[in-house]
Amino acid sequence: MPKKPDVKDYIRTIVDFPHEGIMFRDVTTLFADPRGFRMAIDQMLHPYAGEQIDKVVGLEARGFILGGAIAHQLSVGFVPIRKKGKLPGTTISQEYKLEYGEAIVEIHDDAIKPGEKILVVDDLLATGGTAGAGIKLIERLGGDIVSCAFIVDLPELGGRKLLESMGMDVHVLCEFEGL
C-alpha cells in the first residue's frame, strides 16, 4: 500500500542557498499545492481545537500566509509582525540577533489588547531569534501566548529550546536535520 503523503513530502530542499553549506527548506512548493497547503493548515490548527484564541500573529513574511489562513479558519483577527519601517501606524520594536548582525521587528502598539489569547505562527523555526523577538513584543502589549506553531523545525539550530526556555508551548509539523 502506498505511503500516505505528509507535509514534509511537499517541501523541497535547495542545496547551497542562500550560501554554500545551507540546505534551504523551501515551503513555497507546499503552499503551491492545494492538498499540501490544506494539510499544513489543518495540522497546524488541530492542537488548538477548543482552545480560546483571540488573534493569530504571523511573523514576516511566510508567517503572513499561514497566519492569515489559520485566522480565517478560527474566525479571529490576524496581526503581522514586520521588519522595521514597514508598518504605517505607531509601533513598538524589538531588536534581535542574526547569524551576522542584528535586525528589528515591529508591531502596531494597538494590535493586541492586554489578556488576549495569541497564537504565534511562522513557517520555519531555526535559531528562534525572530520568534523570540515577536514573543517579547506580544508580551509587552499584554498578550497571553497560547502557543507557537511552525511547519518546519531545524532542531540543530536550537530555536525550539530557546522558545521553550521562554515558557512557550511549541508545535511543529516536521523536522529536518542539518542547517
The catalytic residue among 62, 82, 106, 160 is: 62
Q: Which helix (H) or strand (E) holds 11?
A: none
pTM confidence score: 0.95
Report in angstroms the alpha-carbon separations of 126 from 33, 95, 152, 178. Answer: 24, 17, 8, 11
Residue 179: predicted pLDDT: 65
Is 99 in the active site?
yes
Q: Does some domain include residue 6?
A: no
List the domain range (segments joined by +) for residue 98: 51-175
Is 62 in the active site?
yes
Q: Does some domain include residue 38?
A: no
CB 121 within 8 A of CB 57: yes
The catalytic residue among 38, 95, 99, 139 is: 99
Q: Does some domain include residue 154?
A: yes
pLDDT digits (tens, 9 = 90+) for 117-159: 999 999 999 999 999 999 999 999 999 999 999 999 999 999 9
How much of the chain, in percent, has pLDDT values that exceed 90?
90
Grid cell in block for residue 75: 474566525
CATH number of the domain enclosing 57? 3.40.50.2020
Q: Does some domain include residue 148?
A: yes
